[in-house]
Structure 1
Amino acid sequence: MTFPRTDFASASNAFEREWLVTNALGGFACGTVAQANTRRYHGLLVASLQPPVQRVLMVSKVEVHVRYRDRSYELGSNEFAGGTISPRGFEVLSAFEDDEGLPVWTYACADARLEQRVWMADGRNTTYVRFQLQDASAAMDLELRPLCTYRDYHSHARGGWSLEVADEPRGCRVTAFSAARPYRVLTDRGDFQREPDWYWNFYHRAEAERGLDATEDLFRPGTFRVRLEPRDVVTLIATAESEFDPPATAFDREHKRRRSLLRATPSGAPDWIKRLTLAADQFIVRRS
């Protein structure tokens, strides 16, 4: 199912439409089409440390900066306390698609198209964010800035505390405090440079509507930089596991799993039944 640009041309529309992927453990990734977090529950890696409970938000989001043909583009969005919305990446979002239950964004940067997909590994606290450069007439430079925290998913955290950032091959390991589960943020290509810093006063409008505290701060451990030639792919991995599948293997495995669910639907079932089958699967968890 593809949603046209008119469905998210404004901030209000793009902030209201939401997506969700899960890992069958109680962990999940979710957010808005605009990639602005509007709820305390929005994040790229919400790990279930004692399935299906003890859910901890580790990686909130990734900020994506693009340089293409001497022009810069910011593909994400944020709302800050006071009402400022910056950047406004939804303005260069040309399409949003539900591909077998997985969210797919397509951004238009001049004559180039950059596709972004998100999925989680079934049975693992691991999220993959895959970028592919399509229809481009030149190379594109990407900067990926993960924004991190470590908190119960029902809460908010404020900044200024010290998270330990250690180098890993193609990324970093983040340890929030001595008793916290370490997690890693990596890419399968490109370079990582440690640049620890805090980003302040993100505003979650849905929490304000509930009459709850609505601001939090997020920690940037560093920046990934990669150059993509046309058709190239780079994948960011956020994981609380000691091991994870390579992105291509994980991508193929998740699509095969979803197709097996669709094959179990009655022959000739309409599309809405197939979408409901995939949506219902998101709510099934396995206890440890």
Structure 2
Amino acid sequence: MVISFEREKCSNLKVAESQEWLVTNGIGGYASGTITNLLTRRYHGLLIAALQPPLGRTLLLTKLDETAGYKDRDYPLYCNRWADGTINPEGYQQIESFHLEGTIPVWKFSFADVILEKRIWMEEGENTTYIHYNLGSGSQPLNLAIKALINHRDHHHHTNASDWQIGIDKTNKGICLQAFPKATPLYLLTHPQIDDKTLVSTPANDWYYGFNLAVEKYRGQQELEDHLHAVTFNAQLEVGKSLTIVASTKENPTTNGEEALTSRRAYEQQIIQKFATSKTSQPEEKNPVVKFWKSLTASSSQTKHQVAKPTPEWINQLVLAANQFIVDRKSPKHPDGKTIIAGYHWFEDWGRDTMISLPGLTICTKQFNVARSILQTFAKYVDGGMLPNRFPDSGATPD
């Protein structure tokens, strides 16, 4: 693996909170955070949905605060920095390791005789995030209490608590949360489904005050924010079993975590395979004279089939990272339109940045059809011989 951190770094707060992860969904939405699960930016969250793809990015699910109950002891797996700078709890002390599996962040928690793994990824083309837990080892079942902290705001803004109380309704697979009338609902679903025995959901509607966002303070921005504790899930995990929390704007996304994970891995493997295949293939010579001459002058070693060397893993990682910046910008005339996000977390798609980065993100990675689609998308907005500078996040007319 290319990017990995062992316990020595994961348990060092200064180091671990400076390392950030990012997953994307190909339509402008994303999830992002730190290795410690400590919020340091207003842009950190488990579901920042693109409600007007690729823009209209809105924080819906901020974080999940998990506590593992095992052999009459509680082990927090999360941490928070509060208004006075206090870190409580210190769940990062339970992190044995962190690594990227493609673009999927993977945490391994270790305490007592337990190994618990956690993965986060998004469904391509959907405002859907998967948080997947698997109990790898232990001498008895593990009780997992998961507090869902939510919000409903533009990803550039911040929230101060008020008397805002969200609507909470149970569905056949989980919970539906609606911040206010006509707001896009947030569905928190589970696999296996809630059965009031091994998996229970308890509505809360309690504000948690004074999350201290250290990076925002460094940037000279408002550093304190409040989030709403909407619901707590309590699950019992057997060794070898898994639990998936699905956060989505869709009422019926795929909830089977194993199937969704397999699908995500296949998608990323397809991107890598396309790059590897394009990298080694050569266009067929169509001129019969040139083709005949090459056949006469080629050495025997050149004419033999040569097995391509495998692409180094760090190159594959760069190819996947490049793909995270490419998102859909669909229109009636261009249903397959593409564009490039100028930078995570806060940029939209900017004309200048798109044209500068296009060769590296698409040509070098052999995504020629994507490059063509991006050029066609921007050509649609040419005005006075000029490309638009940016597409505002509010969805207004391009500048």
Q: TM (normalized to structure 2)?
A: 0.71
Q: CA deviation at 1:249?
A: 2.1
| Counterpart in the other structure of 1:220 | 229
Say whether residues 1:181 and 2:180 are aligned partners.
no
* Partner of residue 275 from structure 2, selected from 247, 265, 288: 265
Conserved in 1, the CA contact under 8 Å of 2:165 and 2:205?
no
Distance 1:176 1:163 in 2: 5
Say whether residues 1:54 and 2:63 are aligned partners.
no
Structure 1: tracts of 5 or more residues without a match:
none
Q: CA deviation at 1:171?
A: 2.3
- In the comparison of the two structures, how many residue pairs are matched? 288
Q: Secondary structure at the match of 1:16?
A: coil
| Counterpart in the other structure of 2:9 | 7
Distance 1:14 1:3 in 2: 9
Q: CA deviation at 1:4?
A: 1.4
| Counterpart in the other structure of 1:167 | 170
What are the within-5 Å matches in structure 2 for residues 1-288 of structure 1?
Answer: 1=1, 2-160=4-162, 161-189=164-192, 190-246=199-255, 247-266=257-276, 267-288=309-330
Conserved in 2, the CA contact under 8 Å of 1:48 and 1:54?
yes
% identity of equivalent residues: 36
| Counterpart in the other structure of 2:296 | none
CA shift digits 1:80-126 (9 cap, x unpaired): 11101111111110010111121000101201101000000000000
Over the aligned positions, Cα root-mean-square deviation in angstroms equals: 1.1
Structure 2: tracts of 5 or more residues without a match:
193-198, 277-308, 331-399
Q: Secondary structure at the match of 2:310?
A: coil
**Match of 1:223, as an amino acid?**
T
CA shift digits 1:43-71 (9 cap, x unpaired): 00000011100000000000001101111
**Match of 1:135, as an amino acid?**
S
CA shift digits 1:161-208 (9 cap, x unpaired): 121111222421111111311111121132211122111110110000
Q: Secondary structure at the match of 2:17?
A: helix
Conserved in 2, the CA contact under 8 Å of 1:8 and 1:90?
yes
Conserved in 1, the CA contact under 8 Å of 2:168 and 2:177?
yes
Q: Mean Cα displacement is larger for which, 25-34 or 152-161?
A: 152-161
Q: Which one has a bigger Cα radius of gyration?
A: 2
Distance 1:111 1:286 in 2: 45
Counting helix residues as a fraction of each chain, which structure ranks higher? 2
Higher relative contact order, structure no. (Cα contacts within 8 Å, ≥ 6 residues apart): 1
